[in-house]
Amino acid sequence: MIIELKHVKKIYDKNGIEVVKDFNLTIQDKEFIVFVGPSGCGKSTTLRMIAGLEDITGGTISFDGKVINDVPAGDRNIAMVFQSYALYPNMTVYKNMEFPLKLKKISKEQRKQKIMEVSNMLGLDEYLKRKPKALSGGQRQRVAVGREIVRDCDLFLFDEPLSNLDAKLRVQMRTEITNLHQQLQKTFIYVTHDQVEAMTMATRIVIMYNGIVQQVGTPKEVYDFPENTFVAGFIGTPAMNFIKGFITSDGYFETRNEEETEEGTKEVTNVHILIPNDKYQVLKEKGYVDKEVILGIRPENILQEERLKETEVDLPVENAELLGFEYNLIGHIGDSQVISRIVANNIIRNGDVVKLYFDMNKCHFFDIDTTNRIK
Ligand SMILES: Nc1ncnc2c1ncn2[C@@H]1O[C@H](COP(=O)(O)OP(=O)(O)OP(=O)(O)O)[C@@H](O)[C@H]1O
Ligand SMILES: [Mg+2]
């Protein structure tokens, strides 16, 4: 099913605030779309408008070209799985899954056939006679998913379905839901505030902030080419480093910070590194020479490789976090906190000053006022 949102907005009567602003998106058939963003950014509201559980204040939503703004939720033939899925506690797993089919007046024979097919797909065969309280969290979640699948819907909506599960189970269910999408070949829209879930499950990610879509793209696109500092900082852990500094007329990026000395305040430069020519040309053409910009560089692009000599910086290590295979080195360069992630070949201790190199081909420059990516 193709879902199209055009200039969709939402104002809850009580507060008068536009919690979803001018949302535009076309979701292709069989896509796995993930809405991701911080708490309160409007993810659930958008999903609930698609489901028909919430009125649409402005704009249109259409399914396969037909505007459905005024179609009641019950007539939209959508499967929905939420964080707090309410299974019927007095019914067995089988009866829970049978319930929606009974409502649809499907014959007993066909009901059984469908339930067995879905139960097999989800690995629920041995639990069919149990009641929900005799199941683990993950098994219950699977029954909730099964109860939706039996209905043969074209569109599946998930709102943080895994957030009640422990970390290990979440990782397992993540794979199960991805496999399910492959098997069912239906359109999935999945809401989460967990960027790892978004990166690992989605065919395309929609990143939202303050009711506004910040970027839509494949996981690789949003990681490699974030359109603004919000997306750049939201996707990836540890987060991208941001360092304020100036573009010089001879093609360098340099920081200029004020420092108190005995003779008074003076300006110091902690970073003075060469910008790759293709990037510098763009910055120059767009008028950023002698202007302040934000340099964005991911922790894994601050390395110990001497081939990058021209971009050397000294990092006084405040905290060396050994994660086994790698270190997260945390320190300050000028006013900015910087994290470098390097392979743990040597022992590094807090207080060491480590020579590191910025892989400037992988860095980004952002406009300081608009926060948009320049190059
Ligand atoms: N029924 C309601 N009445 C008034 N305001 C609401 C209502 N439901 C949500 N809101 C507000 O709308 C905004 C968006 O809420 P929404 O539930 O869509 O956020 P979310 O992105 O799903 O957040 P979370 O990750 O915390 O679930 C929030 O500021 C919230 O307070
Ligand atoms: Mg929500």
Residue pLDDT tens, the chain, 375 long: 999 999 999 999 877 899 999 999 999 999 999 999 999 999 999 999 999 999 999 999 999 999 999 999 989 999 998 877 788 999 999 999 999 899 888 999 999 999 999 898 888 999 999 999 999 888 888 899 889 888 889 999 999 988 877 888 888 889 989 998 999 899 999 999 999 999 999 999 999 999 999 999 999 999 999 999 999 999 999 999 999 999 999 999 999 888 887 888 888 878 889 999 999 999 999 999 999 999 999 999 999 987 777 888 999 999 999 999 999 999 998 889 999 999 998 899 999 999 999 999 999 999 999 999 998
CA distance 72 to 26: 21
- Give the chain's domains with CATH numbers: 3-234 (3.40.50.300), 241-367 (2.40.50.100)
Q: How far is CA 223 from the centre of its chain?
A: 10
Would you state the pLDDT for residue 88? Answer: 92
* Ligand 1, atom 2, residue with closest C-alpha: 12
CA distance 217 to 205: 5
CA distance 104 to 342: 58
What is the DSSP-derived secondary structure letter of residue 52? T
For ligand 1, say whether the CB of 123 is within 6 Å of any of its atoms: no
Task: Yes or no: say if 280 and 246 are a contact pair by the CB < 8 Å rule.
Answer: no
Residue 111 structure tokens:
């009901």
Residue 238 Cα, ligand 2 centroid: separation in angstroms? Answer: 24
Ligand 1 nearest atom to the CA of residue 14, by list position:
4
Would you state the pLDDT for residue 335? Answer: 84
User: What's the predicted TM-score (pTM) here?
Assistant: 0.90
Q: For 95-104, b where at least 16 C-beta lie within 10 A, e where not — what string? A: bbbbbbbeee
For ligand 1, say whether the CB of 45 is within 6 Å of any of its atoms: yes
For ligand 1, say whether the CB of 226 is within 6 Å of any of its atoms: no
From the CB of residue 341, how many other CB atoms can be counted at a distance below 10 Å? 18
Residue 257 Cα, ligand 1 centroid: separation in angstroms? Answer: 40
Residue 160 Cα, ligand 2 centroid: separation in angstroms? Answer: 7
For ligand 1, say whether the CB of 192 is within 6 Å of any of its atoms: no
Would you state the pLDDT for residue 260? Answer: 81
CA distance 50 to 67: 11
Helices 108-122 and 137-149 cross at an angle (nearest 10°) of 140
Q: Please enumerate in sequence order all residues whose Cβ is within 8 A of that of 131, keeping only pairs 6 or more positions apart, or say none.
A: 89, 90, 91, 92, 93
Neighbours of ion ligand 2 (CB under 5 A): 44
In terms of Cα–Cα distance, which of 184, 190, 193 is closest to 203? Answer: 190
For ligand 1, say whether the CB of 88 is within 6 Å of any of its atoms: no
Would you state the pLDDT for residue 240? Answer: 97
For ligand 1, say whether the CB of 185 is within 6 Å of any of its atoms: no
For ligand 1, say whether the CB of 40 is within 6 Å of any of its atoms: yes
Ligand 1 nearest atom to the CA of residue 54, by list position:
1
- What is the CA angle 87-127-30, rounded to 5? 65
Would you state the pLDDT for residue 60? Answer: 98
Residue listed under structure tokens 């979440």: 170
Task: Yes or no: say if 202 and 158 are a contact pair by the CB < 8 Å rule.
Answer: no
- Give the HSE-up count for residue 312: Cα atoms under 13 Å, Cβ half-sphere: 9
Q: Which ligand is nearest to the CA of 194?
A: 1
- Give the HSE-up count for residue 147: Cα atoms under 13 Å, Cβ half-sphere: 27
Residue 82 Cα, ligand 2 centroid: separation in angstroms? Answer: 10
Q: How many residues are given for the chain?
A: 375
Q: How far is CA 194 from the centre of its chain?
A: 6
For ligand 1, say whether the CB of 316 is within 6 Å of any of its atoms: no
Residue 211 Cα, ligand 1 centroid: separation in angstroms? Answer: 10
For ligand 1, say whether the CB of 42 is within 6 Å of any of its atoms: yes
CA distance 78 to 152: 9
